[in-house]
Structure 1
Amino acid sequence: MPPPPLAPRPFSADKRGLKLARNAMQRDRLWRIFDTGLHAMVDSRANACHKIHSRSRTASGPDRLKPFHPEVELTWLADVEFRTSPVHGTGIFARRPIKAGNVIWRYDASMHACDQKTMTALSARTLAFALHGGYLHKPSGKFLWYEDGMQYMNHGEGCVANVGLAYWPSLQEDHTIALRDIEVGEELREDYGFWADGGLAPDHWLNPLYQRHCPHHLSFLQSLTAPSSTSAAA
Structure 2
Amino acid sequence: MRIDILTVVPELLESPFNHSIMKRAQDKGLAEIHVHNIRDWSTDKHRKVDDYAFSTTAGMVMTIEPIERLINHLKSEREYDDVIYMTPDGKPFVQQDANTLSLQGNLIILCGHYKGVDQRVRDHFITKEITIGDYVLTGGELAAAIVCDAIIRLIPGVLSDETSALTDSFQDGLLSPPVYTRPAEYKGWKVPEILLSGNEKKVEEWKLEQAYERTKKIRPDLLDEEDM
TM-score by length of 2: 0.24
Larger radius of gyration: 1
Q: More helix by proportion, 1 or 2? A: 1
